[in-house]
Structure 1
Amino acid sequence: MKQTMRSLLKVFCLLLILMSCANTGESPENTPYEPINFDLKTASVIESSNNFGFELCKLLLQGVESNENVLISAMSVSQALCMARNGANGQTKNEITEVLAFDETLEGDINISQKKITEALGRADNQVDINVANSIWYRNDFSIIPEFIQNNVEYYNAEVSALDFSLSEEAKRIINNWVDNKTEGKIQEIVDEVTPDHVMFLINAIYFYGEWKNRFDKGDTQQLLFNKENGTDVKCDMMHQTATFSVYQDENLQMIELPYGNGHFNMVVLLPAEGNNVENIISSLDEDLWSEWINKLVSREVSLFLPKFKFECEYELKDYLKEMGMPSAFSGAADFSGITQDASITISKVKHKTFIEVDEKGTEAAAVTSVEMELTSMPNEYVFNANKPFVFAIFEKDTNTILFLGKLMNP
């Protein structure tokens, strides 16, 4: 158990994407790498978020075409559901707790730990732009228990606004403008419509921009073939550099760690070995295996080939979350009596959108999750050539917080 916790504190903050400093003026001096130390309770919350992300990603793969690119932010989904959980009671709260993989004995520490994690990520590297934002938008004639609002403001720094939902287009525009602003325009909207049955939107937005610690030279980028799993090839812009990276290899995969800024935030690429594939790697992922792989990374000179890529994803997570074990939150049996005592409400949708772009300079990524609530009535030279589908993640070493996890099937 102690070994596992040490590994948790060392690794894994899945794929967050940040925005660079302005080009005008001199950039501030990079902050040195300083380890982030957490208590065991906070480490347990991070482990839960990672495990939730692994399981959600596995279910998503069953619902999409095998050749589709996939990207999720477990941290974004988890924080949005945690805000909803602050208003849940009874079976509904128990189911959300179980799906998010939280230890029930940490009841009083989950919110505190989430706040610690967010604050630590924001301080880790001043060369990486990372913004985690939360908001609550509610119908202006809807009565809400003050404690629900207070907890989400205190622990999730949630911005709270009452809107006239009868002016549906105006309310939608205001909420989506907030999303657009918090993701630097990478995700422009998350709310499709605002109806008379809607009473609340709980939204989390994450934005990440990080420049590679070892940048690629654009002059070394060339058009090369990317070998798709179906046996066909497609041309892509393949970046290349030879530098020192941390790598691991076994009979199932090659693994490389690509640092941003001062090294707190990293992208990890998991490249299937011959005879293996992306789905097998994702299906085997859990916290123990991930920690084992990370602990086996060794530093060496690598000739690295990595494709430039850019894609967006959009998911409705309701059915996946029900399958994972929280059906009551979406049904007439939902108990959100911690939000209001004047009406029965239920979660109608959990929408999740993500964006990522990887180029010679670095990585930009964003994620937004919206929980919509309605009235219930309603060799020598080691070569790492990522020229075929692969799994990737963005993580922070010390907090072990998973930011993004995905697969690239076609650049």
Structure 2
Amino acid sequence: MSLALYTCLLWLCTNSLWTAQASTNEGSSPHRGLAPINVDFAFNSYQRRVAQNSDKNTLISPVSISTALAMMSLGTGSSTQSLQNMGFNLTDMPEAEIHQSFQDLNNLLKQSDTGLEMNMGNAMFLPQNLKLKDSFLAHSKHYYESEALTIPFKDWTKASQKINKHVKNKTQGKIEHVVSDLDSPATLILVNYIFLKGTWKLPFSPENTREEDFYVNETSTVKAPMMVQSGSIDYFNDSEIPCQLVQMNYVGNGTAFFILPDQGQMDTVIAALNRDTIDRWGKLVTPRQVNLYIPKFSMSDTYDLKDVMADIGIKDLFTDQSDFSGTTEDVPLTLTVIHKATLQLDEGNVQPVATTGTPLHLPSESLTVKFNKPFILLIFDKFTWSSLMMSKILNPA
């Protein structure tokens, strides 16, 4: 593995467990100081999105967003500033190595045995009279496998239909709707999309799934299909941060942290999320006999990245003064980046079996953990320790 790739992977992680895992390779690396700075990008993005979306479900894919922003830096006259705002130290890691590392990372994610069904990509949409530079098109295709398609901006109904159809085809029908209207008068729209579904290493039995109450808040409940299993599960009850959690592995390299804040402590737990916290949890989870209840749901989130990125200091791609001289000779150019993330959480590709009607026996001596109130879900690829999904679930229904 190249040193540039190793540094990039460190940046895209959200847990220093993988840093320790690769410490023998890092030893004398001059890039050790880079990882602690850039590793915060995922949590910063997530925390900002949650703050803007405080009363709704939130879903964000940091690795997907990072890829999109790095790709757009290819076409800015201030690419150095763009990458530095993302946390890269260009003295240690030249721009060309950064883009090569993203290409390698995307290849690794495709090759990684994650046990995850994942469709991730970027597509640019532009009016027919806008010509992008050949160098930008070539580099975005080479490093990021991104396409550029023309749409009739003056007929937004047809334009939105073309965007939605393209993403639907790219995700084999898993994401059917991305846009219906557009608030900003952009001349270039970048759609960044990801769909994720996994197969659990310890699958839930579909015949045990039953409808139960989910407590949205102190006064509101909804009915939700609750998956149930009993067995040895990695568990931790945190006395420092007010929550309890379980770590569930997918078949292959995927892993998920289900985090259940104490009553009224959601904001406190979210504020405490960082690489040190995940590192500590990873070391402290221990196998326990647990009766586990997790809701089954499908969740999507769509939003313009402008406000989220501006809050964490990445503004140079989204202002009227943005320099896109490397993208096109047609100026001025305004950019909109739409992020669409979809997560499907279910029993794990297990076929239901005939049931005799006998209820599931849950050992009374086992610890019962019910995710029947708002919780947090973080999903990583352990092969690259990329942050695939970060979510806050207020209402699974």
Instruction: Determine helix, strand or coil for the equivalent of 1:361.
Output: coil
2:391 corresponding residue in structure 1: 406
Given that residues 194 and 341 in structure 2 are in contact (C-alpha distance below 8 angstroms), is that contact kept between their aligned partners in structure 1?
A: no
Which structure exhibits the higher relative contact order, with contacts defined as CA atoms closer than 8 Å and separated by 6 or more residues? 1
Displacement, 1:338?
0.8
Seq. identity, %: 27
1:221 corresponding residue in structure 2: 209
**CA distance in 2 between partners of 1:337 and 1:43 (Å):** 33
Q: Which runs of 5+ in 2 are unaligned?
A: 1-6, 16-21, 351-363
2:118 corresponding residue in structure 1: 130
Q: Which runs of 5+ in 1 are unaligned?
A: 14-34, 364-378
1:296-354 deviations in Å (ceiling 9; x for gaps): 3333432211112233323233223223223343323211111123422122x332233
**CA distance in 2 between partners of 1:294 and 1:43 (Å):** 21
Q: Structure 1 length normalisation: TM-score?
A: 0.77
Displacement, 1:115?
1.4
**CA distance in 2 between partners of 1:401 and 1:187 (Å):** 22
Instruction: Determine helix, strand or coil for the equivalent of 2:40.
Output: helix
Given that residues 135 and 159 in structure 1 are in contact (C-alpha distance below 8 angstroms), is that contact kept between their aligned partners in structure 2?
A: yes
Whether 1:322 and 2:310 are equivalent positions in the alignment is yes
* Alignment RMSD: 3.5
**CA distance in 2 between partners of 1:9 and 1:325 (Å):** 17
**CA distance in 2 between partners of 1:166 and 1:232 (Å):** 44
Instruction: Say if 1:216 and 1:38 are closer, same or farther in 2 by CA, change over 3 A.
Output: farther
1:107-143 deviations in Å (ceiling 9; x for gaps): 3322112112211111122743223223233334333
**CA distance in 2 between partners of 1:48 and 1:320 (Å):** 18
For 2:386, the aligned partner's letter is: T
For 2:41, the aligned partner's letter is: F
Displacement, 1:265?
0.8
Instruction: Say if 1:329 and 1:394 are closer, same or farther in 2 by CA, change over 3 A.
Output: same
Instruction: Say if 1:200 and 1:256 are closer, same or farther in 2 by CA, change over 3 A.
Output: same
Instruction: Say if 1:62 and 1:303 are closer, same or farther in 2 by CA, change over 3 A.
Output: same
1:211 corresponding residue in structure 2: 199
Instruction: Say if 1:293 and 1:243 are closer, same or farther in 2 by CA, change over 3 A.
Output: same
2:232 to 244, 247, 251: 244
2:82 to 96, 106, 119: 96
Equivalent pairs, count: 364
Displacement, 1:58?
1.5
Displacement, 1:401?
0.3
Displacement, 1:198?
5.0
Instruction: Determine helix, strand or coil for the equivalent of 2:321.
Output: coil
**CA distance in 1 between partners of 2:156 and 2:216 (Å):** 44
Instruction: Determine helix, strand or coil for the equivalent of 1:331.
Output: coil
Given that residues 316 and 351 in structure 1 are in contact (C-alpha distance below 8 angstroms), is that contact kept between their aligned partners in structure 2?
A: yes
Whether 1:396 and 2:386 are equivalent positions in the alignment is no
Instruction: Determine helix, strand or coil for the equivalent of 2:317.
Output: helix
Displacement, 1:269?
0.3
**CA distance in 2 between partners of 1:341 and 1:119 (Å):** 31
Q: Structure 2 length normalisation: TM-score?
A: 0.79
Instruction: Say if 1:295 and 1:126 are closer, same or farther in 2 by CA, change over 3 A.
Output: closer
1:151-176 deviations in Å (ceiling 9; x for gaps): 11111112334456566554443332
| 1:68-217 → structure 2 map (5 Å cutoff) | 68-90=56-78, 93-105=79-91, 106=93, 107-125=95-113, 127-162=115-150, 165=153, 169-192=157-180, 198-217=186-205
Instruction: Say if 1:304 and 1:159 are closer, same or farther in 2 by CA, change over 3 A.
Output: same
2:248 to 238, 244, 258: 258
